[in-house]
Amino acid sequence: GHISRLFKTGMQVTISTYIVNYRLEKAAQLIKYDSSINIETVSSAVGIENTNYFFRLFKKTYGVTPRQFYKLNEKADTGL
């Protein structure tokens, strides 16, 4: 409706895309700081109950799997 159009005009994305991006950003923060956290826990914590769907969204957004994302950030943090 009207609110959705206003949101898209102001934010340049749909509400649903914004929410998914926000959830993936929060997931990336969780993964970045805890290598031992499992993907099911991360997925559920950010409100995406289907782990396979979460995995696909994460890889599409970041270009790497959640595990690869952690390893890349781990190297960046240590200067390697």
Kindly report, residue by residue over 38-67, the tens digit of the pLDDT: 999 999 999 999 999 999 999 999 999 998
Quick one: pLDDT at residue 34? Answer: 83
The per-residue b/e assignment along 31-49, b for 16 or more CB within 10 angstroms, e otherwise, is bbeeeeeebeebbeebebe
Percent of the chain with pLDDT over 70: 92
Alpha-helical runs (H) found in 14-65: 15-33, 39-45, 51-62
pTM of the shown model = 0.81
Quick one: pLDDT at residue 77? Answer: 64
Residue 70 CA to residue 77 CA, distance in Å, equals 10
